[in-house]
Amino acid sequence: MVLAAGKGQRMGERTRRIPKPLIKVAGKTLIDYTLDNLAQAGVQSVVVNLHSHADLLQTYLEQRIDSQIGPLIKFSSERSALLDTGGAIVRALPLLSSNPFFVSNSDVVRLDRGRNACHLLHEAWNPAAMDFLLLVHSRKTATGFDGRGDFFLGSEGQLTRRGARVRAPYVYAGLCLCSSDQFRYPPGEVFSLNDLWNRACKKGRLVGVQHDGTWLHVGSPEELKFAEDKLGNV
Protein backbone atom coordinates (compact mmCIF):
# COMPACT_ATOMS: atom_id res chain seq x y z
CA MET A 1 0.00 0.00 0.00
CA VAL A 2 1.46 3.35 -1.07
CA LEU A 3 -0.03 6.35 0.72
CA ALA A 4 -0.18 9.15 -1.84
CA ALA A 5 -3.41 11.05 -1.18
CA GLY A 6 -2.16 13.82 1.11
CA LYS A 7 -2.43 17.47 0.13
CA GLY A 8 1.22 18.34 0.83
CA GLN A 9 0.26 21.77 2.13
CA ARG A 10 3.70 22.44 3.65
CA MET A 11 5.08 22.48 0.11
CA GLY A 12 3.21 25.71 -0.61
CA GLU A 13 3.13 26.72 -4.29
CA ARG A 14 4.66 23.45 -5.44
CA THR A 15 1.52 21.46 -4.63
CA ARG A 16 -1.03 23.93 -5.96
CA ARG A 17 -0.73 22.44 -9.45
CA ILE A 18 0.66 18.95 -8.89
CA PRO A 19 0.32 16.32 -6.16
CA LYS A 20 3.20 16.02 -3.74
CA PRO A 21 4.22 12.52 -4.98
CA LEU A 22 5.03 14.08 -8.38
CA ILE A 23 7.51 16.57 -6.97
CA LYS A 24 10.94 15.77 -8.36
CA VAL A 25 14.06 15.29 -6.26
CA ALA A 26 17.26 15.21 -8.30
CA GLY A 27 15.22 14.71 -11.47
CA LYS A 28 13.05 11.84 -10.21
CA THR A 29 9.56 11.99 -8.72
CA LEU A 30 9.02 11.03 -5.10
CA ILE A 31 6.58 8.29 -6.03
CA ASP A 32 9.03 6.80 -8.52
CA TYR A 33 11.62 6.53 -5.75
CA THR A 34 9.02 4.68 -3.68
CA LEU A 35 7.81 2.37 -6.43
CA ASP A 36 11.31 1.58 -7.65
CA ASN A 37 12.34 0.66 -4.12
CA LEU A 38 9.38 -1.69 -3.78
CA ALA A 39 10.05 -3.23 -7.19
CA GLN A 40 13.69 -3.85 -6.27
CA ALA A 41 12.46 -5.73 -3.20
CA GLY A 42 10.36 -8.02 -5.38
CA VAL A 43 6.98 -6.43 -4.64
CA GLN A 44 4.82 -7.23 -7.66
CA SER A 45 1.61 -5.33 -6.94
CA VAL A 46 0.77 -2.10 -5.10
CA VAL A 47 -2.33 -0.07 -4.32
CA VAL A 48 -1.97 3.72 -4.51
CA ASN A 49 -4.64 5.90 -2.90
CA LEU A 50 -5.70 9.07 -4.71
CA HIS A 51 -7.13 12.39 -3.53
CA SER A 52 -5.13 15.56 -4.16
CA HIS A 53 -4.81 16.13 -7.94
CA ALA A 54 -6.06 12.57 -8.27
CA ASP A 55 -6.50 12.56 -12.05
CA LEU A 56 -3.03 13.95 -12.65
CA LEU A 57 -1.39 11.37 -10.40
CA GLN A 58 -3.39 8.51 -11.86
CA THR A 59 -2.52 9.55 -15.43
CA TYR A 60 1.17 9.71 -14.54
CA LEU A 61 1.09 6.26 -12.95
CA GLU A 62 -0.87 4.78 -15.84
CA GLN A 63 1.97 5.90 -18.10
CA ARG A 64 4.35 4.01 -15.83
CA ILE A 65 2.13 0.94 -16.16
CA ASP A 66 2.10 1.31 -19.96
CA SER A 67 5.90 1.39 -19.89
CA GLN A 68 5.78 -2.02 -18.12
CA ILE A 69 7.83 -0.73 -15.21
CA GLY A 70 6.90 -2.72 -12.11
CA PRO A 71 5.21 -3.10 -9.82
CA LEU A 72 1.63 -3.49 -11.08
CA ILE A 73 -0.42 -0.53 -9.81
CA LYS A 74 -4.04 -0.50 -8.67
CA PHE A 75 -5.88 2.60 -7.52
CA SER A 76 -8.01 3.30 -4.46
CA SER A 77 -10.00 6.50 -4.88
CA GLU A 78 -10.55 9.00 -2.09
CA ARG A 79 -11.61 11.75 -4.46
CA SER A 80 -14.72 12.63 -2.47
CA ALA A 81 -13.01 12.77 0.94
CA LEU A 82 -9.70 11.94 2.56
CA LEU A 83 -9.82 8.94 4.89
CA ASP A 84 -6.46 9.54 6.64
CA THR A 85 -3.82 6.82 6.62
CA GLY A 86 -5.76 4.16 8.53
CA GLY A 87 -9.05 4.70 6.75
CA ALA A 88 -7.21 4.62 3.42
CA ILE A 89 -5.86 1.15 4.17
CA VAL A 90 -9.28 -0.18 5.22
CA ARG A 91 -10.75 0.98 1.90
CA ALA A 92 -7.87 -0.55 -0.05
CA LEU A 93 -7.90 -3.95 1.70
CA PRO A 94 -9.99 -5.70 -1.01
CA LEU A 95 -7.41 -4.61 -3.60
CA LEU A 96 -4.33 -5.81 -1.72
CA SER A 97 -2.96 -9.06 -3.07
CA SER A 98 -0.86 -10.23 -0.11
CA ASN A 99 -1.16 -10.61 3.63
CA PRO A 100 0.89 -9.42 5.45
CA PHE A 101 1.55 -6.32 3.34
CA PHE A 102 3.84 -3.31 3.31
CA VAL A 103 2.60 0.23 3.87
CA SER A 104 4.85 2.89 2.38
CA ASN A 105 4.80 6.67 2.50
CA SER A 106 5.43 8.51 -0.75
CA ASP A 107 7.18 11.61 0.66
CA VAL A 108 10.55 10.11 1.59
CA VAL A 109 13.62 9.02 -0.32
CA ARG A 110 15.26 5.92 1.10
CA LEU A 111 18.62 4.64 -0.10
CA ASP A 112 19.27 1.27 1.47
CA ARG A 113 22.77 0.23 2.48
CA GLY A 114 23.18 -3.42 1.61
CA ARG A 115 19.90 -5.25 2.22
CA ASN A 116 16.65 -3.76 0.94
CA ALA A 117 14.56 -2.49 3.86
CA CYS A 118 11.55 -4.54 2.73
CA HIS A 119 13.66 -7.68 3.03
CA LEU A 120 14.76 -6.67 6.53
CA LEU A 121 11.16 -6.23 7.64
CA HIS A 122 10.02 -9.45 5.98
CA GLU A 123 12.75 -11.49 7.68
CA ALA A 124 11.97 -9.96 11.08
CA TRP A 125 8.19 -10.40 10.76
CA ASN A 126 6.71 -12.58 13.53
CA PRO A 127 2.92 -12.26 13.88
CA ALA A 128 3.02 -14.18 17.16
CA ALA A 129 5.02 -11.36 18.75
CA MET A 130 4.01 -8.21 16.89
CA ASP A 131 1.05 -6.41 15.35
CA PHE A 132 3.07 -3.85 13.37
CA LEU A 133 6.72 -3.88 12.33
CA LEU A 134 8.09 -0.42 11.57
CA LEU A 135 11.25 0.71 9.85
CA VAL A 136 12.87 3.41 12.00
CA HIS A 137 15.84 5.66 11.35
CA SER A 138 18.17 7.48 13.72
CA ARG A 139 17.09 11.09 14.17
CA LYS A 140 20.76 12.13 14.10
CA THR A 141 21.22 11.02 10.48
CA ALA A 142 17.72 11.78 9.15
CA THR A 143 18.35 14.29 6.36
CA GLY A 144 15.95 17.23 6.30
CA PHE A 145 14.15 16.13 9.46
CA ASP A 146 14.08 18.73 12.23
CA GLY A 147 11.49 17.17 14.52
CA ARG A 148 11.93 15.78 18.02
CA GLY A 149 11.79 12.11 17.02
CA ASP A 150 9.03 9.53 17.37
CA PHE A 151 10.21 6.42 19.19
CA PHE A 152 12.56 4.73 21.61
CA LEU A 153 13.79 1.31 20.46
CA GLY A 154 14.18 -1.37 23.12
CA SER A 155 16.76 -4.15 23.17
CA GLU A 156 14.16 -6.65 21.91
CA GLY A 157 12.89 -4.29 19.24
CA GLN A 158 9.82 -3.01 21.07
CA LEU A 159 8.96 0.60 20.28
CA THR A 160 7.72 3.15 22.80
CA ARG A 161 6.47 6.64 22.04
CA ARG A 162 8.38 9.83 22.86
CA GLY A 163 5.45 10.94 24.97
CA ALA A 164 6.24 13.93 27.20
CA ARG A 165 10.00 13.55 26.75
CA VAL A 166 11.81 16.29 24.85
CA ARG A 167 13.54 14.03 22.33
CA ALA A 168 13.37 10.49 21.01
CA PRO A 169 16.28 8.92 19.11
CA TYR A 170 14.33 7.35 16.23
CA VAL A 171 11.92 8.57 13.58
CA TYR A 172 9.46 6.50 11.57
CA ALA A 173 11.11 5.90 8.19
CA GLY A 174 7.91 5.63 6.15
CA LEU A 175 7.68 1.85 5.76
CA CYS A 176 5.94 -0.78 7.85
CA LEU A 177 4.67 -4.35 7.62
CA CYS A 178 1.34 -5.50 9.01
CA SER A 179 -1.59 -7.84 8.39
CA SER A 180 -5.23 -7.18 7.59
CA ASP A 181 -6.20 -8.56 11.03
CA GLN A 182 -5.18 -5.26 12.63
CA PHE A 183 -7.85 -3.42 10.63
CA ARG A 184 -10.74 -5.70 11.58
CA TYR A 185 -12.04 -3.29 14.20
CA PRO A 186 -11.21 0.23 12.98
CA PRO A 187 -11.94 3.17 15.29
CA GLY A 188 -13.98 4.84 12.54
CA GLU A 189 -14.15 5.46 8.82
CA VAL A 190 -11.56 8.24 8.99
CA PHE A 191 -8.63 7.53 11.29
CA SER A 192 -4.86 7.61 11.46
CA LEU A 193 -2.60 4.59 11.33
CA ASN A 194 -1.11 6.06 14.51
CA ASP A 195 -4.29 5.07 16.37
CA LEU A 196 -3.55 1.39 15.68
CA TRP A 197 0.14 1.81 16.45
CA ASN A 198 -0.76 3.27 19.84
CA ARG A 199 -3.03 0.29 20.49
CA ALA A 200 -0.19 -2.10 19.59
CA CYS A 201 2.31 -0.10 21.65
CA LYS A 202 0.23 -0.50 24.80
CA LYS A 203 0.34 -4.27 24.32
CA GLY A 204 4.08 -4.31 23.65
CA ARG A 205 3.40 -5.41 20.09
CA LEU A 206 4.74 -2.41 18.18
CA VAL A 207 8.19 -3.46 16.99
CA GLY A 208 10.91 -1.66 15.05
CA VAL A 209 13.84 -2.48 12.80
CA GLN A 210 16.57 0.12 12.37
CA HIS A 211 17.40 1.42 8.90
CA ASP A 212 21.08 2.22 8.45
CA GLY A 213 21.12 3.62 4.92
CA THR A 214 20.31 7.15 3.77
CA TRP A 215 16.89 8.52 4.65
CA LEU A 216 15.59 11.85 3.40
CA HIS A 217 12.31 13.37 4.49
CA VAL A 218 10.74 15.67 1.88
CA GLY A 219 7.88 17.56 3.47
CA SER A 220 8.67 21.22 2.83
CA PRO A 221 10.66 23.37 0.36
CA GLU A 222 13.52 23.49 2.86
CA GLU A 223 13.55 19.69 3.20
CA LEU A 224 13.41 19.39 -0.58
CA LYS A 225 16.58 21.48 -0.84
CA PHE A 226 18.27 19.34 1.82
CA ALA A 227 17.35 16.23 -0.15
CA GLU A 228 18.60 17.68 -3.44
CA ASP A 229 21.91 18.63 -1.84
CA LYS A 230 22.28 15.23 -0.17
CA LEU A 231 21.57 13.24 -3.31
CA GLY A 232 24.12 15.33 -5.15
CA ASN A 233 26.74 14.02 -2.73
CA VAL A 234 25.68 10.36 -2.47
Residue 220 — very low, low, confident or very high, per pLDDT cuts 50/70/90? confident
pLDDT reported for residue 19: 94
Structural domains of the chain, with CATH? 2-231 (3.90.550.10)
**Per-residue pLDDT reduced to its tens digit, 15-39:** 989 999 999 998 999 999 999 999 9
pLDDT reported for residue 222: 85
Mapped to the 3 state alphabet, what secondary structure does the chain carry? Answer: CEECCCCCHHHCCHHHHCCHHHCEECCEEHHHHHHHHHHHCCCCEEEEEECCCHHHHHHHHHHHHHCCCCCEEEEEECCCCCCHHHHHHHHHHHHCCCCCEEEEECCEEEECCCCCHHHHHHHHCCCCCCCEEEEEEEHHHEECCCCCCCEEECCCCEEEECCCCCCCCEEEEEEEEECHHHHCCCCCCCCCHHHHHHHHHHCCCEEEEEECCEEEECCCHHHHHHHHHHHCCC
pLDDT above 60 (res 233): no
**Per-residue pLDDT reduced to its tens digit, 34-68:** 999 999 999 999 999 999 999 999 999 999 999 98
What's the pTM value of the predicted model, to 2 decimals?
0.94
Q: Which percentage of the chain shows pLDDT scores above 70?
A: 99
pLDDT reported for residue 76: 98
**Per-residue pLDDT reduced to its tens digit, 204-214:** 999 999 998 89
